[in-house]
Amino acid sequence: MTAAAPDRTAAADCRAGSPVRPIRERGQHEVFCGLTSILWLHRKMQDAFFLVVGSRTCAHLMQSAAGVMIFAEPRFATAIMEERDLAGMADMHDELDAVVARLVARRPGIRLLVLVGSCPSEVIKLDLAKAAHRLDRAYGPALRVLHYSGSGIETTFTQGEDNFLAALVHDLPAAPIGEAPSLLVAGALADVVEDQFRRIFEALGIGRVAFLPPRSAAERAAVGPHTRFLLAQPYLGETAKALESRGARHLPAPFPLGEEGTTAWLRAAAEAFGVDPGRFEAIVAPGRARARAAVAKRRETLGDKRIFFFPDSQAEPAMARFLHRELGAEIVEIGTPFLHRRHLEAEFALLPDTVTVSEGQDVDRQLDRCRAAKPDLVVCGLGLANPLEREGFATKWSIELAFTPIQGFDQAGDLAELFARPFERRARLKLEA
């Protein structure tokens, strides 16, 4: 999907004093629509339902991205806007109310209904905030109703999750005055990864830990001045802003990718909660050893390889740090849709000052730079991968990195394998030829 790049001038304050001076591009760019984050969010929250308010195009996008799903009825759908709706010939609120009534009758187990705007309110002729508030009063408290924008005009691929989590934060209860410090981990994680982190936090003695989004809508962590939060994903700028507006304090750290990133991420929490350094090292040592051993198996394949990142998910700087520091790869360029300097400061501190960084995208210019650099591997979206493969470049679909569990010690080897696969595939094809 081709869309106009978001203008985020409010981020200028975050850029001040940063050691990285990116190429800022505001041309044509290639990204998925923000609606696609629903595909992993609906799996995470077992009693939530995501209702997209959009056109048939949105419905086709969701169906194509999600696959047929023969064996399970997904917890998302599209309330399709017809021409008569957009022309004002029908009352959009009445139409939406009827769709929601049928949905609730059919799926009585839903505890959180999320209205997702496919376009700005000016386009769909419906104020989703007012609609969500009205429906929340009608169906609450058994069913809570929230809304957020997943518009492909306003957001990039992963920012749909950011907007959803920010909406959840505003709905969380306030922590009582004087409550003991607690830890909140923000960012959707696979259940297996969440369980691994929870066990480590418990071993460290950090007992009051919650995850956002939770697995159930009933799990609503209280937030207040004694809340400390870690970001599990690099693209949660609005979520972090919402948490900080509630008094919570961010714990800056590299993101939990690879042995180095996971160790630093966990250490940030350990230091904030006064965990003895010796105890911390003893608890994380087995995981660090497993991660190093798993990653070492791919170092021969990826060592000294030149890698070029096109902007897609906003996780590109953290991926680049992992590839450079733990696998010995050379990073040619890090392209990212949006650069939140404060959240990525720890990542860039671990990268060479000479690395080229581009924020936003002008796809034609970036393709020119990629072709001139002749990298060994190009990390990009599906729309660019096939043409580049035809030109002889090895590519890795960046979308795969969003759907695969890659955080934590025990997934470090899997993350390295994802980048090694294109080279291994080409090696097999040469042998077969």
Sequence ranges of the binding site: 33, 58, 119
Q: Which residues does the annotation place in the binding site for [4Fe-4S] cluster?
A: 33, 58, 119
8 Å CB contact between 151 and 158: no
Long-range contacts (CB closer than 8 Å, 24 or more residues apart) made by 126-134: 126/53, 126/92, 126/93, 126/96, 128/53, 131/93, 131/96, 134/93
Instruction: Read off φ and ψ for residue 222, nearest 5 degrees.
Output: -75, 140
| Cis preceding-peptide flag for 181 (omega within 30 of 0) | no
398 CB-near residues (< 8 Å, 6+ apart): 309, 310, 312, 313, 316, 379, 380, 381
| Six token digits for residue 248 | 């919570």
C-alpha pair distances (Å), 91 with each of 88, 114, 130, 173: 7, 20, 14, 34
Place of tokens 């080279």: 423
Tell me the one-letter amino acid at 342: R
What is the phi/psi pair of residue 24, to 5°?
-100, 120
Specify burial of residue 361 (Cβ count, 10 A radius: 0-12, 13-18, 19+).
buried
Report the distance separating Cα 147 and Cα 136, nearest Å: 10
Measure the CA–CA gap between 308 and 335, rounded to whole angstroms.
8
**Structure tokens given for 174:** 């306030």
Q: Is the separation of the CB atoms in 111 and 146 below 8 Å?
A: no
Cα torsion 98, 99, 102, 108: sign: negative
Q: Give the residues across from 330 on adjacent strands.
A: 306
